[in-house]
Every structure is written in C-alpha cells, then in structure tokens.
Chains A and B, each alone.
Chain A
Amino acid sequence: MFNIFKLAARNLRRYKRRTLLTSILITLGVVAVLLFVSVSGSFKAMMIGQITDSMLGHLQVHSRGYLSSIDSLPLHLNMKGEQVVRVKEILDGNDAVEAYSMRIRLGAMFSNFTETTNVRLNAVDPEQEMQTVPMLADRIIKGKKEGLLAKGEILVPELIARGMKVKIGDTIVLVATNKHGSVNGQPFVVRGILEGISGPGGRDGFIHTDDALALLRIEGREISEIAIRLNEMEQMHEVFDELKGQLESSRNKMDKPVFEVHTWEELSPFFNIARMIDLMTLFIKIMLVAIVLVSIMNVMVMAVYERINEIGTIAAIGTGPGKILSLFVAEGFLLGLFGTLIGVVISLITIAGMNAAQISFDFGRQKGLLLSPTIASGEVIVIAGIVIAIAVLGSLQPAWKAAGMDPITALRHV
C-alpha cells in the first residue's frame, strides 16, 4: 500500500501546477464551508442560548390548550394544585432536569399615575427563575441584577419604561382582572429596566409570584407554565419524549391529556431561522461536494489520458487491474487529503483571528452582539471526511477506466 501511495505522490508532483490548482480549489471550498459553518453555527448557538437561557428554558409544560390561547394569557387554563404537584414530582425525579421555574403569566394595565398602557407579565420565584434562565439577569440594563427582584418590585420592559417615562425607584400601579372577572390594583416599585429580546415573552415584565397571587386573588396554587432547564441541551428530545410519556398518563374526564409539553423549537420563531441556517449549510456543503467532484474527476481524467501508454506498460509487465485502479484512486485520495489539510489549517487560523478581532453585529433590536465563531472538531472531521471521500469517488471512474484498459491498445497510444 505504501508503494502505491509513493507512486501516486510522485505522479502528483510530476504535474505540479495542475496538482496545485486543484488543491487550491479544494482548499478554497473547505475554507468557505468551515468558515460558514463556524460563523453561522456560533450565531445560531448564541441566539438559541439567548432564547433558552434568558426566557424560554429548554422545555415548557402547560395545561392542554394553553399554548394555542397564549396571546390572551388565559388564567382559567392555569395548572391547579394537584396538577402542579404531579408535574413537580415528575421533574424532581428526572436527573436530566437541572432546574425549573413555575410561572404565572398575566396581562395587566400599567399606570404611572398620568398614563396607562397594557403590559404582559411573568410572575416568578426569583431563585427558581435565575436557576432556569440564568441569562435573564444580564438583560437588566438599568437597576440591580442581584437577586432579580423582591416582593413589591417590578422589572419593566425597556419599551414600556421609555414610553411611560418610568425610572428606577418610581412607583407604578398594576391593575389586573382575575379569572372570575374581579379587578384589583396594586402598587409596585420599579426595580429594573429589562432589555427586550426576539421571540415570545421577550418583551414581558417580571413580578414576584406572591404579588401575582395577591393581585389576582388566587387562593392555593396556580401555575400558567413551567419552564425547564436541562443539564445538557443535547438531551432535549430524549427528555421531551420521556416527559411527554409520563405526563400523558394524566387525563381529564374526556380521556384527553391534561398537560402539553413543548420544546423551545416549537415555542420560538427563531427555530425556523435556525432551520434556514442548517439548510444553507447543507447547500454550501453540496456546492463543496460538486467542486471537489468536478475538479478531481477533471484532473484524474486528464491524468489517465496522458498516461495511457504508461498504463499499457505496467499492465503488460503484470500489474493487475486492481492495483492500477488503486494507483489512480490513491492519487485522488492524496489530492483530496492535501487540499483538505491546508483548508482546515487556514480555516482554524482564520477562526482564531476572527475571535481575536472581536467582531460585533446587530440582530433585530439587539445591538453589539459579539461574533465568536467556533467549530466542533467533529464537524471538521465530518467535512474533511466528506471531501476526501468525494475525492476518492471522483477518481473512481477514471481509475476504473485505466484498470480496464486493454494493454495492447494502451501501448499503441501515442
């Protein structure tokens, strides 16, 4: 085998310029794909991280039908005492669950005593919430981040704070209607201003659960949604199936499941953008495959054509068809390997350079997001493997032709 590769390497060196040009083409393709994958992948990971770690969590549990009516934040679809206990038991018994936060979601009128507007609110236990969505505190652009909030305090969404000219320490009033139609109001001190993010719940305010219970005059336990954080995001679909199976056993009088479980992918429109990115990555990879296939085939067809007489000679002196095939496939393999290795090295250096340069960008209302491209070694290996495999595949047809050549016809070729 070593001798075949030695001969293949010498034949590649024999046509230096052609080998170099083909390798450059493969290198450029590999660099383009690796850079695209690293930049788009890090953008995707960052956005998903922001969505899951500062708002949605990885999974959410609601009462059946809640999500389809979420725009009106229906209080009558909250999970009640027994149901909450059931979900809590299941979550506490699952090792993959790192933390969960029980939220009451409500709509209210927000008054600064001169003006009134409507606001969507999440009532949370601050400790649970910070464990479940640890990046939430980072969204507080004004005010104290530590402890998130206390009873009687509110985190006001940035847009409402600006529109209503509300500052830290101001007192505002929230007026809400409970599920029985009773209206109640309660004063709150503005604890912080919360930066908005893309996606559902990204522009909601936060109050303490105890305040929501008082404002809505809820007796006992009621929860609108349970946001769940997992130890490993990669386990999400596995845990989702597990939870779904466990929760489906709880059924109502009509024998329908009481709960519904959703992944962040079903809750956030960003998932469609993420899928678009994946699709674009796939097309870029297909383009790379096409580049490698065409360039290797072209070079190998030329190599076979130029060496017909030589093929005739080695066939005449007893080289079997299998070995002749191996000789040309080895050339394709080496070309692919050479181009890929250089491409990988250039890409890794470029990625390191981009990280050192601290490139920032804006996405929607979010300004100055820091681009930190990274690429997993597995991804590099897969892409390198694809390129080398395609290089081998591209050389197979010309190699097959060379192996099947009639020695006499080949020897007569001028």
Chain B
Amino acid sequence: MTLVTAKGLEKTYIAGDITVRAIRGVDFTIEPASFVCFIGPSGSGKSTLLNMIGCLDPPTSGFLEVAGKDVTHLGAKESARFRGDHIGFIFQDFNLIPVLTVFENIEYPLQMVQNWPALKRKQRVNELLEAVAMKDQGGKFPNQISGGQKQRVAVARALVTNASLVLADEPTANLDTETANRIISLMKQMRDEFGTTFIFSTHDHRVVKSAEKIFTLEDGKLQQQGNGDNHV
C-alpha cells in the first residue's frame, strides 16, 4: 500500500514564448508513515513536485494519487477540500496568522476548514500543544515567540487535522542549528506518534541525514533514490 503514487508526472509552464518543463516524466511511490526528502539544486523542480503532491498545482500530464485519491485533475474547490482533509503544510517562513494566538493558529484548520465543535477542538489543540511542548505559550501571538517556537506551532497546525501527509518546504532554512535539530526530532517524533508521512524539499543536510527515503531531482528528472545514510 502506498500513500503517494506518481506515474509519468509532468509539469510544463508557459510564459509568453518560453516553455519550461519543470518536471519531466517522474515516477515514484511513497509509503505511509515515512520520512521522505526531495533534494536537488535550485530550479531542479523540488518545490514544483511538492506543490503537485500538495494539490496546489495540477500536473500537466501523467498520473498522481494521494491518500487513495486520483488528484491529477482536481478543481480549485475540490483540491482545497482535499488539502484541508488530508494534507498539512509547513513553510520556510512559518506563515502563522499574526492576528491569531498560538492556540488559535493551531485551531484554525479545525475551526475554519473542518468545522469541528468547540469542545472537541479545544481538546485536540491542547493535545498538539503538549506534543510540541508549547502548552504554556498558547495565549501568545506569533510576534511574541521565537522562530523555533513558531515552527513548532506550524508543525502542530499541520498535524492537528490528523493529516496523513505533511509537506514541508525548507522547514529549517530560517532556524539555527540547535533549533533546526530540535524541529527535525520533533517531526520524527510526531511521525512515530501519529503515523504521519513527512515529505520535505530541502537543501539542509541535517534534514537529508534524517530522511529514510531520498529522491534526487535534476532538471525535472528523478536521478537517484536512496536513504539518509548513503547521501550524507
């Protein structure tokens, strides 16, 4: 059983007279509860691939299945609903909503996307706050906490809906080494605790080292597949 299956996946951008083939016929599979990394030089197509898996950008051709659903041709509304139900996102710049407290940021997907009842929401958010060691910071606003704490909140927000898949684009790029290591261990711990699959796009060797499966992309093609040990 696989969580993500891609066959002959292609993405082409057309800007005026210029046609860019960002992803060129990629095939891969990702199993549930795995820690996967896409690496490669800038412009190799890592982010494009992540966006397609995250149903943010539809493939130009090929086949893509995520969490048992063919997402190759999803419309805007349908893909938004699918993302809300199955996918969590962690961003390089944390992307917390500044007018919401830590608690409310984590609560946001449950409240505004999945419409959970208040009591159940509170219980779930507290669970996640505890899991990311931010229990006593729930009432603070994003501008009152550190970068590492912000990324913890982002991890909690990504996991709060019981997403089967979390996509993280350069999640440690804006963090110091110690904080980055702590965030990586936190994500691994979350994977173990909740059985969530984490897929990264990164240049950070610390993330690569911790990955169980690594896909190397170059010019939109998958060049090799391996694990953290044989890449670092």
Contact = CB atoms under 8 A, between A and B. Distances in A.
Interface of A: 3-4, 7, 10-11, 13-14, 309-310, 312-321, 323, 407-408, 411
Contacts of B77: 320-321
A179 B59 CA distance: 100
A14 B54 contact: no
B67 to A, nearest CB: 14
Interface of B: 51, 54, 56-57, 76-77, 80-81, 83-85, 87-89, 91, 93, 95, 97-100, 108-109, 111-114, 157, 161
B83 to A, nearest CB: 4
Given A313-B91, A321-B80, A10 B85 contact: no
7 contacts: A309-B95, A316-B56, A318-B114, A319-B112, A320-B80, A323-B112, A411-B95
A410 to B, nearest CB: 10
Nearest to A407: B56
B83 A411 contact: no
Nearest 5 A/B pairs, CB to CB: A318-B84, A10-B99, A318-B113, A313-B95, A318-B83
A316 B76 CA distance: 11
Contacts of B83: 316-318
A55 to B, nearest CB: 64
Given A7-B100, A309-B95, A323-B112, A317 B56 contact: no
A408 B89 CA distance: 12
Given A3-B112, A323-B112, A318 B99 contact: no
Contacts of B93: 309
Contacts of B99: 7, 10-11, 13-14
A323 B108 CA distance: 12
Nearest to B51: A408
Contacts of A310: 95, 97-98
A319 B157 CA distance: 13
Contacts of A317: 83-84, 88-89, 108-109, 113, 157
Contact of B84 (A3, A7, A319, A321): A319
Contacts of B88: 317
B130 to A, nearest CB: 21
A38 B21 CA distance: 68
Given A318-B81, A319-B112, A408-B56, A313 B97 contact: yes
Given A7-B99, A310-B97, A321-B77, A316 B113 contact: no
A10 B54 contact: no
Contacts of B51: 408
A222 to B, nearest CB: 81
Given A317-B109, A407-B56, 7 more contacts: A4-B112, A310-B97, A313-B91, A315-B80, A316-B89, A318-B85, A320-B77
Contact of A316 (B54, B98, B100): B54
Given A3-B111, A313-B95, A318 B80 contact: yes
A14 B157 CA distance: 22
Contacts of B89: 313, 316-317
Nearest to B160: A317
A38 B216 CA distance: 75
B155 to A, nearest CB: 13
